[in-house]
Chain A
Amino acid sequence: MQIRKMGGVAIVAVAALGLSACGGDDSGSGSGGKIDIGIKFDQPGIGLKQGDKYSGLDVDVAKYVAKELGYSEDKINWKAAPSKQREQLIKSGQVKMVVASYSITDARKKEVSFAGPYFIAQQALLVKKGSGITNLQGLQGKKLCSVSGSTSATKLKAKVPGVNLQEFDTYSKCTEALVAGRIDAETTDDTILSGYANQDTYKGKLEVVPGVGGDEIYGIGIKKGDKATCEKINSALAKMVADGSWKKAVTDNLGADYKLDAAKNPPKQDTCS
């Protein structure tokens, strides 16, 4: 009996050690520690993980901001932030910030705060080269693809009621179906679509039709009410634009033929609240 009790105590002690070990190294703040940043892992041009290399516009923006906050590149812990998990990642403190083609909306502002914006994208179509679809009207009766539950599909359906909509859980599957000729167009932000059009596998086969929907205003998601961090990020973003790194990041990642909406970009940062 005595031995059993001791065993129990030992297990509890080991478990407690394990827990404290976990708590120790993810403090997140302070210049000596690491910073957890959420990005997309599967969107070429925006946030893409290949092996242990990360690339994309969001990655470059995140690196610049992290540097201004006092974290060099090797102090960044990249974490996957799929669209539907972004609020939860921030709220639970698993990441310090999310830079993942994250549009600022009123519904999301109820849950998290946004720094930025750092980019204004617009909804666009991705079609095969020479498909003849050049605007919204060309979509009438055509087959369209988007991601399950995404707002871009809902918006286009309201504008072109006759459209035939197939949804998948990732944009990559849509692009595959587009190349296979089963669907005629794919819709989401022009940044994401340019990323696919510029991928080596699809180069020269696809083209982006811009300006079919509204603006998507990309911000950096942080914990709700964290005004101090928000202001630091905003001044980092302003500096990034001023020293030309912003422009370089955009052309590097979105490709030479990306049609940047220069009237809106680079956007002015909102005031933090």
Chain B
Amino acid sequence: MSSLFDQFDVWGAFWMTIKLTALSAVFSLLIGTVVAIMRVSPVPVLRFLGTSYVNIFRNTPLTLIVFFSLLGLWQTLGVELSSQLPVNAFRFAVVGLSIYHAAFVCEALRSGVNTIPLGQAEAARSIGLTFGQTLREVVLPQAFRGAITPLGNTLIALAKNTTVVVTIGVAETAYLMNKVNEDASDQLTNMFLLAALFFVLLTVPIGLLTGRASKRLAVKR
């Protein structure tokens, strides 16, 4: 086991997985919230755009989205996020992961919105709040608190899905596993155990924390 750490940059790979997870979580939460607002808004065009976003990105394989973010934007259109190619690939990986998981964040939030009784929105409108105010003051705070568990599930899925970005050469855990397989296949079993342990340590706390938070914060009705 120790020769793995001597021979390969194991910590670097794990840290890359954590960075990918954290950054993509933030961006997918931002994008997902916007899409969710579009989907519950009273404007038909926005609703249509929001629904299209969710249906397109939720139903496209993540590998394709990640690869096409680099192939389409960088290779064909020449968009560059960094002049350093490894950094460039990392940023495109975050773009791909965020776009894909935003669709799931949106649906998680929409399920949170559905936990709020219709009367609340009607009451908000009857005291003269605009759509924006209703969202900000009444709907979204309750929606987030009701959606903690599905958001946690999305985050766990995101952590595991980061392994897909090996397709564009980001040096994360799956990349390390490929490297061990190619250069030191006698260490493969150890690498599998190590990677499994790492992902358990990464995802189980997320599940426990969101489970506790959803119990404490959920709006009791």
Question: Which A residues contact B (CB, under 8 angstroms)?
Answer: 83-85, 87-88, 105, 107-108, 110-111, 143, 148-151, 164-169, 173, 176-177, 180, 182-183
Contacts and interface: CB of A to CB of B under 8 A. Distances in A.
3 tightest A-B CB contacts, nearest first: A167-B169, A149-B179, A149-B178
B178 A151 contact: no
**Interface residue SS majority, chain B:** helix
Contact of A180 (B75, B85, B179): B75
B84 A108 contact: no
B114 interface: no
B183 A151 contact: yes
B89 interface: yes
B86 A148 contact: no
Contacts of B184: 107
A148 B166 contact: yes
**Interface residue SS majority, chain A:** mixed
Interface of B: 71, 74-76, 78, 83-86, 88-89, 166-169, 175-176, 178-179, 181-186, 188
Please indicate which of the listed interface residues B75, B88, B175 has the most CB atoms of chain A within 10 Å of its own CB.
Answer: B75
Contact of A176 (B75, B86, B89): B75
Given A149-B179, A182-B75, A108 B166 contact: no
A143 B185 CA distance: 29
A37 B20 CA distance: 39
Contacts of B169: 148, 165-169
B186 A110 contact: yes
A84 B75 contact: no
B185 A107 contact: yes
A87 B176 CA distance: 17
Nearest to B87: A164
A147 to B, nearest CB: 8
A270 to B, nearest CB: 20
Nearest to B78: A182
Given A148-B179, A149-B183, 8 more contacts: A84-B178, A84-B181, A87-B185, A105-B183, A108-B185, A148-B166, A165-B85, A182-B78
Contacts of A169: 166-169
A87 B185 CA distance: 7
A137 B178 CA distance: 29
A105 B166 CA distance: 24
A107 B179 CA distance: 12
A164 B85 contact: yes
A111 B182 contact: no
A69 B64 CA distance: 43
Contacts of B88: 166
Contacts of A164: 83-86
B186 A149 contact: no
16 contacts: A84-B182, A87-B188, A88-B185, A107-B183, A107-B184, A107-B186, A108-B185, A143-B85, A151-B183, A165-B86, A166-B86, A169-B167, A169-B169, A176-B75, A182-B78, A183-B85
